[in-house]
Amino acid sequence: MQHLFIQYVYLILIILALVMFANKLRLAYPIVLVVGGLALSFTTTFSNITIDPELVFFIFLPPLLFDSAWQVSWKEFWKWRRVITSFAFPIVILTSSVIAVVSWACIPGFTLALGFLLGGIVSPPDAISASTIMRQVKVPKGLVSIVEGESLLNDASSLIVFRFAIAAVITGQFHMSEAVGSFFLVIIMGTLIGLAIGFIFYAIHKWLPTTPSIEIILTLVVPYCMYYTAEHYHFSGVLSVVSGGLLLSAQRHRMLSYRSRIEGVNVWANLVFILNGLVFMLIGLQLPSIINQLGDDISVGSAIGYGLTISLALIVCRLLCTLGASVFTVFISRYITVADNSPGWRNPLIIGWAGMRGVVSLAAALSIPLLASNNQAFPYRNLILFITFIVILVTLVFQGLTLPWLIRKLKPTPVHNTIPENIQELNIQKKIAKCSIEFLEAKANEGKNVSEHLKNLHERLKIDMKLLTEQLDSSENNPERSIRNFQLIYLELLEKQRTTLNRVNHLQEYDEELIRKYMSLIDIEEYKIREKMVEESA
């Protein structure tokens, strides 16, 4: 046990080094981690580290899903709801059907039931890689919202297809009416369980005397409660976490204190980073064990050929589905209101090419039982596992490396009727300044005792209001030189403040916790300034 723990410590250090290497090369780190895991798999040091499907489904998956639901914008999710749900349910089922037919046609002895099983395994795209790449290459936010929203739901639909296909292979029977009824029952009940548990935890946050530490720990516990409860009653644990996560995310400002929000961001960012790193590294490490399980019945060359064929079918099918969805959107926009009635072909092509597969597919393949009915070996289990690995490798590396080039080449079109981001930001700041001035003036008119501090604040807000109005009215709306000069001087000022605080911290009469508080405020200010500078230079 101690030796295994030390191995994971070394593995984490390697992950950190590879992520830094990926950042240096401006590559999405999941691609580099998978390739790094492949390289490590040929060594004996990490040969005993394997993916346990129970470990992925019950330890890794709930927090990763909850974080995705927490980060997604409900407004954007609702805006693109039709596109997201079509990708997550009809297209996943259509993709599973296509893979079923292709695998049945090209693999000797493969049945349609096994084909549906393979289709359910490889149909869900992994959005972590796609969103990582899209955030590195400037793309319209609508595309990122669709990819991230799709990832919240497609895992659930594919795992439901996988569950029914397993039952069909084991029993040799499949009843369409029962399957459709069970499909909707699993979806609806999983969603309701997530919402119910979300309301319970909302009440705990809202009305019990919690502290920031307790609130952050509660956010770590809640996805497991949602997932385990739904899976215990054989409903969708994925949809339970997604629905509950979306509910709590929308209520974060009501149920969490400001300290919990600030501190929780750091906790969750680091947790999700290390979980994602381990997951992608573990994918690459599986190669030797997967090849060993393949056996002598099927040659490695033939298995690679099957994997490449399925990968090609999967890529083509997704591209046709996204382009077909664009055509259907143009048609249906005559009868109903859609988010974008003219999506064109560039954006759908990018979304289609962003369909890299990941850990959920591999974990699902690994969870196939060793034995089927009558204690016989599950048919083609090892081949399905090998094909899944090839699909993940091909889509993650090939599509992942070419996606930035494709985005730059196609130059995706932004969604129409959107205000430029810099104008939005100026308007928001102006509205905040306006309401602040009105509030202070109302307090003064009430005859309240107005201190010099409030007078100074009032004058400062009036100056800010004037500057924002001038920027909005300016024809250029981009006073780059003066803003950049202000940013550089402000950064120097922050460094001077740090030096002063460090000097004060050496004095015994000052509390170090208070010093750290002001250090944190300075760090937040520097973060905002440097992020703004990066955005302007991009």
Q: What is the largest CA-CA distance in the chain?
A: 90
Q: How far is CA 70 from each of CA 224, 415, 483, rounded to the nearest angstrom?
A: 15, 24, 33
Half-sphere exposure of 506 (CA within 13 A, CB side): 5
Q: Which tokens is 82 given?
A: 């039709």
Q: How far apart are the first and last CA of the chain?
A: 47
What gap in Å lies between CA 232 and CA 224, rounded to an integer? 12
What gap in Å lies between CA 413 and CA 424, rounded to an integer? 19
Half-sphere exposure of 277 (CA within 13 A, CB side): 20
* Backbone dihedral angles phi then psi of residue 447, each to the nearest 5 degrees: 85, 15
Other Cβ atoms within 10 Å of 127 Cβ, number: 24
What gap in Å lies between CA 114 and CA 468, rounded to an integer? 63
What gap in Å lies between CA 288 and CA 40, rounded to an integer? 10
CA proximity to 117, closest of 163, 176, 59: 163
DSSP 345-410: THHHHHHHHT----HHHHHHHHTS-SB-GGGPBPTTHHHHHHHHHHHHHIIIIIIHHHHHHHHHHH
DSSP 399-468: IHHHHHHHHHHH-PPPPSS---HHHHHHHHHHHHHHHHHHHHHHHHHTT----HHHHHHHHHHHHHHHHH
CA pseudo-torsion sign 211, 215, 217, 222: positive
Distance of alpha carbon 437 from the chain centroid: 39
Report which DSSP code applies to 256: S
What gap in Å lies between CA 57 and CA 398, rounded to an integer? 26
Whole-model pTM? Answer: 0.76
Q: How far is CA 401 from each of CA 18, 95, 293, rounded to the nearest angstrom?
A: 16, 23, 29
Half-sphere exposure of 461 (CA within 13 A, CB side): 19
- Provide the pLDDT for residue 475: 43
pLDDT tens track, the chain, 538 positions: 677 778 888 889 999 999 999 888 888 788 888 888 888 887 777 767 776 777 777 888 889 888 888 887 777 777 777 788 877 778 888 888 899 899 999 988 888 888 888 988 888 887 677 777 776 777 777 777 788 778 777 777 787 787 778 877 777 666 666 666 777 888 889 999 999 999 999 999 989 988 889 999 999 999 999 999 998 988 888 889 989 998 998 888 788 887 788 788 889 989 988 988 888 888 788 777 777 777 666 778 888 899 999 999 999 998 898 888 788 777 776 766 666 667 778 888 888 888 888 777 877 887 888 776 667 778 888 888 889 888 988 888 888 888 888 888 887 766 555 556 666 666 666 766 776 677 667 766 665 555 666 667 667 777 777 776 766 665 445 555 566 666 777 677 777 777 787 777 776 656 666 666 777 777 777 777 777 777 776 5
Q: Which tokens is 351 given?
A: 């979304």
- Provide the pLDDT for residue 177: 61
Place of tokens 């002895």: 109
Report which DSSP code applies to 506: T
* Backbone dihedral angles phi then psi of residue 138, each to the nearest 5 degrees: -70, 115
Amino acid of residue 313: A
Nearby residues of 159 by Cβ (< 8 Å), 6 or more positions away: 120, 124, 236, 238, 360, 364
* Backbone dihedral angles phi then psi of residue 460, each to the nearest 5 degrees: -65, -40
- Provide the pLDDT for residue 195: 94
Radius of gyration of the chain (CA): 27
Q: Which tokens is 411 given?
A: 């130059």
- Provide the pLDDT for residue 495: 79
- What H or E segment, with its residue span, contains residue 105? helix 90-106
Strand partners, 400: none
Report which DSSP code applies to 299: -
Angle between helices 300-332 and 381-393 (to 10 degrees): 60
